[in-house]
Every structure is written in structure tokens, then in C-alpha cells.
């Protein structure tokens, strides 16, 4: 056990010495990993937030049935009752013409003075239809809309169906792009780390020759390089995390409007601790694979 | 002479040729007992370094069998070579010191490989450097040392692990006569403690002084194998 501790200390010391021996190449590798992970991380952040918007919207998805003008209150309530019995409908609530107007006035706020001149209330009465959980999706909504279509007294049916479908497609597209970009960047990062470590092996060939002559095993000679790769990767992951956080805090608030557009009411959320660690671990993993590719070619003594 | 049955080194009809047609060693058979002290002499190009290289598996024989510390070198797998080398100390003709490391760090490399804890390693390095009169140079870099001092660092690295076999290639090539005697006495004392010592040298003066077994090589062949005389003679 003691031996293992002694070895580990030696490996860490040697890896650290290796990093410091070539600060420029090491820094380039760290920054490359960092920038790659910033790009991938930014995608992940965007997707994560867009998905949480979808989740949130899921609970609020509803279908609105606009009623024909001229129906009596009793008729309106009858229609609402009828809709309430349709499969997939959880609950209904009737919005009268007056309520609709009141909502609109409040929504417009200060500009409401403009509405004073309006002689007639142009807004129709409507019925807000909440869906059971299993129908809270684009296709679920489509089914409910289809079974309400053509019902007497209903002028028009509106749902977020098209919008939700588009949004889901956008999320899927972004995810695909993110995965593709991630794969390309991972490959580039691996190549850069492998190259950096290969240079380090070359720079230390005298040391390796002597180590081999005094009886060092391959793994004894290789481990510090693997650790060096892991260190570079983890540092790159840390750099990426800091950059992402800075972007999130400093740059994002400047794009409030655009953000509102993609995220709706959801306030943007940064990575949690576990996800942050995963980003650093991804860097470390890339570093490990890159350096492993560099050193497992085997070297001659 | 020490007549223990298990020899440290055995060569059976060993030949080595680097290039087809020419032989660096030719049909060499010999045996070194444990704790034996052997001089290897012969003119430049005789094959002394080649013979030493075969013993720590830096080269493979072209023909014949080599058994070192009970291992057949020719049949040794890649992974069995490092453990064997850890039992053998080598002083290289060109020292092979790392210029970017201090004297202490250079010597400690042999200890790092066997997993000696750092504090223990420092103590061992200090002790061996002191025996070689180099303790005041331990934080210097090899380039700032004289040739003789560098040679002693190389010897320190070979001895610090208390190897079972010590192979020294011209270990006194850069030393003045007084130092030569000191260093050779130190090397000889390790043989007394049970280490098999093989010293390649073309300085016949040293060889004569110690009266040890002397093997003479010429163009890759053993031309003489002179047994040790009972007692080391004076100058
Ligand atoms: N790596 C090599 N490749 C090709 N030929 C070699 C190699 N090493 C040695 N030789 C040749 O093998 C022969 C023996 O060389 P070796 O180095 O063993 O001699 P030596 O006795 O140690 O000489 P010296 O006293 O000059 O050190 C020489 O002819 C040399 O040119
Ligand atoms: Mg030689």
C-alpha cells in the first residue's frame, strides 16, 4: 500500500513537472480543450434551458375554443359542459366577453386609454380547455382539437400545437447539431492532446532512456504522461466552466429580448454542481484518451 | 574464489553481430560466480561494451544462450526485462546523466523506479554520494561538474540500489590516478559484499593492481581468461 502511495506521488510530481517544462504547448492544449468545451457546454446550456421550458409549457398547454357571438350564457355553459365530457379533457373554464375584455385591458396596461374609445367589445367569449397529462403534447392536443372540431357554437379552435411542434423540432435540431459539433470538437481535442503528449515524450526521451536502463517498466514511464493529459483536460474543463459562467453572467443579460424569445418566461439556469463536474470530467476524459493514444504506440529503449 | 553453485552470469556460445557478416562477439562462453570480480579488457572495438549490453538485455544475442540471475535473456519477454534491470547496476561509458536534473535527482532515478519513499531515497543518495566524495555537489547539475565528478555520479546511480550485479564500462576513464584507486576500491568492496562486479577497462595498470580474474577480448573472441591470484598485490 505504501508503495502505491510512493508511486502515485512520483507520478503526480513527474506529470506536474512535465506540464511546467513546456508551458506554452501545455497552455495551448488546455485552451483548445477549454474552447471546445465552451462551445459544447453552451449548446448543452441552451438545450437544457429550452427543454425545461418545454417541461414548464407541458403543464400549461391548453386548447381555447372561441364561441360564436350571440349565444346566451346558458348556451355557453352547455357547450362548456359538453366539452368537459370529451376524452382527454381535464377541466374547462368559461371566459365571457367581459372577462376577455378585462384581461386584454390589463394586459395592455397603460395604453388602455386607447380602448376607452372602443364602442363595442370586439372580443369573443371562449372556453379554456385543460388537458389530461397524457394529452399534453402536440399530438395529444391535435387529437382533442380534432374531436372538438365542428361542435355547434364553436367559431374557432386555437392551440399552441403548431408552436410546440416547431419548438420541439428546433430543440431536436439543436441537439443534433450539438452532438455533431461535440463529436468533431472531441476528435480535434483528442488529436491536439495526443500531439502535445507526443511532443512531451520526445522532449523527455533522454529521461525515458535512462529510466528504461535503470529498470522502469512501460507503465511506470507512461503513467506520468497519462496524468499529464488528464491534468490538461481537467484544467481545460475548468477554463470552460469559468468562461461559460462569465458568459452566462455578463453577456447573457445583454440579450434579454432574444432570450425571452427562445425561452419564454423561463429564467435561464446555469449548470448544477453535478453538471459542472461532468464538464470538467469530460475534459479529463478527453485528456486521458488523447495521451493514451500518444503513449500506447510503445517506445523502443 | 567464491564457488557457490548458482552462477550470476552464464554465456553459452554467444555471438552477436550488429551487421550481417561482421561479429562484435563470437562464440563466447563463460561463467561469473556470485560475488565474483571480473575485469574485461581488450583493445577498442574488441566487444567489451557489447558483452555488457547483452548482460542487461540492452541487446539480444544473435546466437547462443545467456542466463543472468537465473533468467534466460533470449527468452525473456518484454515485461520481464525491467525487473531484471532493477537488480543490475550499470555505469555507462558515456555516463548517461540527465543535464536538466541535479546530481541528487539523477542518482534518485534508480530509487524512484523501485518505489523507494522520497525521504528514504534522499538519505540513501546522500550516503552513496558521501562515499564517493560528492555530497557537496548534490544540488549541482552534471554540466557544472568535471568529467571525473560526472563519472562518480554515474557510479553512485549504479550502486545506490545495492544491485546484485554491477556492470561498469570504463568507470575510471576520466579519473586521476588517486581517484582511480579510491573508486576502484569502492567498486571492489561491493564485490566483497556479494555483488558480482564486471569492469570493462583497457587500463592494464588497474587490472594488475587488483589481481582479479581478467578476461581478454579481441575482435569479439576470448583470447585469455586469467584466474584471480589469491591476494590483491600492491602497486
Ligand atoms: N550499435 C552498434 N551498431 C553497429 N555496430 C556496433 C554497435 N555497437 C558496437 N558495434 C561494433 O561492434 C564492435 C564492438 O564494439 P564495442 O563497443 O563492444 O567495443 P568496445 O570493446 O567496448 O570498444 P571501446 O573500448 O572503444 O569502448 C565494434 O566493431 C563496433 O563498431
Ligand atoms: Mg566500449
Predicted confidence (pLDDT) per residue in A211-235, tens digit: 999 999 999 999 999 999 999 999 9
Q: What's the predicted TM-score (pTM) here?
A: 0.77
Specify the range with the lowest mean pLDDT, choosing from A44-48, A54-58, B194-198: A54-58
List strands edge to edge, sheet with A89-95: A89-95, A126-131, A62-67, A154-159
Predicted confidence (pLDDT) per residue in B125-153, tens digit: 999 999 999 999 999 999 999 888 999 99
pLDDT of residue B125: 97
The number of residues making up chain B comes to 235
DSSP code for B128: H
* Mean confidence (pLDDT) of chain A: 83
For atom 1 of ligand 1, the residue with the nearest CA is: B18
Q: How many CB pairs under 8 A join A and B?
A: 56
Specify the range with the lowest mean pLDDT, choosing from A24-28, A160-164, B49-53: A160-164
- H or E segment and range at residue B82: helix B81-85
* Rounded Cα–Cα distance for residues A218 and B217 (Å): 34
Predicted confidence (pLDDT) per residue in B61-73, tens digit: 999 999 999 999 9
Complex prediction ipTM: 0.90
For atom 26 of ligand 1, the residue with the nearest CA is: B44
Predicted confidence (pLDDT) per residue in B29-77, tens digit: 999 999 999 999 999 999 999 999 999 999 999 999 999 999 999 888 8
Cβ separation A210–B79 shorter than 8 A: no
Is beta strand B196-200 parallel, antiparallel or unpaired with respect to B165-169?
Answer: parallel
For atom 24 of ligand 1, the residue with the nearest CA is: B44
Chain B residue numbers touching A209 (CB-CB < 8 A):
96
* Rounded Cα–Cα distance for residues A244 and A238 (Å): 10
> Region B79-100: what's the mean pLDDT?
94
pLDDT at B122 over 60: yes
Higher pLDDT, A1 or A43: A43
Chain A residue numbers touching B112 (CB-CB < 8 A):
10
**A21: pLDDT confidence band, cut at 50, 70 and 90?**
confident
Higher pLDDT, A8 or A139: A8
pLDDT of residue A114: 64
**B218: pLDDT confidence band, cut at 50, 70 and 90?**
very high
Residue A282 makes CB contacts below 8 A (sequence gap 6+) with A37, A40, A237
The residue among A15, A18, A212, A214 with the most chain B CBs within 10 A of its CB, best to mutate, is A214
For chain A, which domains are there? 2-56+165-295 (no CATH), 62-159 (3.30.70.3040)
Name the percent of chain A lying above pLDDT 90: 26
pLDDT of residue A112: 61
B13 Rama sector, left if φ>0, alpha if ψ -120 to 50, beta otherwise:
left
Amino acid at each position: 500500500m505504501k508503495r502505491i502511495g510512493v508511486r502515485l506521488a512520483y507520478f503526480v510530481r513527474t506529470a506536474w513537472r512535465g506540464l511546467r517544462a513546456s508551458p506554452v504547448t501545455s497552455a495551448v492544449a488546455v485552451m483548445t480543450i477549454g474552447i471546445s468545451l465552451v462551445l459544447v457546454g453552451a449548446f448543452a446550456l441552451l438545450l437544457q434551458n429550452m427543454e425545461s421550458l418545454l417541461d414548464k409549457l407541458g403543464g400549461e398547454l391548453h386548447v381555447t375554443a372561441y364561441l360564436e357571438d350571440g349565444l346566451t350564457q346558458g348556451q355557453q355553459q352547455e357547450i362548456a359542459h359538453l366539452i368537459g365530457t370529451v376524452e382527454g379533457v381535464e377541466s374547462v373554464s368559461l371566459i365571457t366577453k367581459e372577462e376577455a375584455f378585462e384581461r386584454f385591458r390589463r394586459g395592455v396596461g397603460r395604453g388602455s386609454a386607447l380602448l376607452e374609445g372602443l364602442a363595442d367589445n370586439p372580443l369573443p367569449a371562449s372556453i379554456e380547455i385543460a388537458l389530461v397529462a397524457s394529452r399534453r403534447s402536440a399530438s395529444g392536443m391535435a387529437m382533442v382539437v380534432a374531436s372538438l372540431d365542428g361542435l355547434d357554437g364553436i367559431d374557432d379552435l386555437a392551440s399552441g400545437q403548431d408552436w410546440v411542434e416547431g419548438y420541439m423540432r428546433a430543440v431536436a435540431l439543436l441537439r443534433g447539431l450539438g452532438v455533431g459539433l461535440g463529436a468533431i470538437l472531441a476528435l480535434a481535442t483528442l488529436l491536439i492532446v495526443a500531439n502535445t503528449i507526443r511532443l512531451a515524450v520526445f522532449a523527455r526521451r533522454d529521461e525515458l532512456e535512462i529510466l528504461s536502463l535503470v529498470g522502469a517498466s512501460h507503465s511506470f514511464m507512461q503513467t506520468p504522461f497519462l496524468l499529464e493529459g488528464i491534468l490538461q483536460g481537467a484544467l481545460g474543463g475548468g477554463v470552460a466552466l469559468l468562461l461559460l459562467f462569465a458568459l452566462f453572467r455578463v453577456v447573457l443579460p445583454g440579450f434579454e429580448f432574444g432570450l425571452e424569445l427562445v425561452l419564454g418566461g423561463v429564467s435561464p439556469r446555469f449548470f448544477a454542481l453535478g453538471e459542472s463536474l461532468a464538464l470538467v470530467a469530460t475534459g479529463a476524459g478527453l485528456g486521458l484518451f488523447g495521451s493514451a493514444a500518444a503513449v500506447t504506440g510503445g517506445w523502443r529503449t | 574464489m567464491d564457488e557457490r553453485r548458482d552462477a550470476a552470469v552464464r554465456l553459452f556460445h554467444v555471438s552477436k553481430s550488429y551487421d550481417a557478416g561482421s561479429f562484435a562477439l563470437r562464440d563466447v562462453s563463460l561463467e561469473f560466480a556470485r560475488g565474483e570480480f571480473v575485469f574485461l579488457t581488450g583493445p577498442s572495438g574488441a566487444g567489451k561494451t557489447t558483452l555488457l549490453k547483452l548482460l542487461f538485455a540492452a541487446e539480444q544475442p544473435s546466437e547462443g544462450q545467456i542466463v543472468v540471475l537465473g533468467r534466460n535473456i533470449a527468452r525473456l519477454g518484454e515485461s520481464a526485462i525491467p525487473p531484471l534491470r532493477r537488480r543490475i547496476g550499470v555505469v555507462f561509458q558515456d555516463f548517461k546523466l540527465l543535464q536538466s536534473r541535479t546530481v541528487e535527482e539523477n542518482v534518485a532515478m534508480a530509487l524512484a523506479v523501485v518505489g523507494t519513499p522520497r525521504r528514504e531515497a534522499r538519505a540513501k543518495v546522500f550516503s552513496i554520494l558521501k562515499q564517493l566524495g560528492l555530497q557537496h555537489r548534490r544540488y549541482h547539475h552534471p554540466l557544472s561538474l568535471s568529467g571525473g565528478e560526472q563519472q562518480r555520479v554515474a557510479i553512485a546511480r549504479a550502486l545506490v540500489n545495492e544491485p546484485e550485479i554491477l556492470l561498469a564500462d570504463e568507470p575510471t576513464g576520466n579519473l586521476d590516478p588517486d581517484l582511480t584507486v579510491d573508486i576502484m576500491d569502492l567498486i571492489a568492496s561491493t564485490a566483497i559484499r556479494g555483488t558480482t562486479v564486471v569492469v570493462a577497462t583497457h587500463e592494464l595498470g588497474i587490472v594488475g593492481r587488483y589481481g582479479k580474474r581478467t578476461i581478454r577480448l579481441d575482435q569479439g573472441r576470448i583470447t585469455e581468461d586469467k584466474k584471480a591470484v589469491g591476494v590483491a598485490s600492491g602497486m
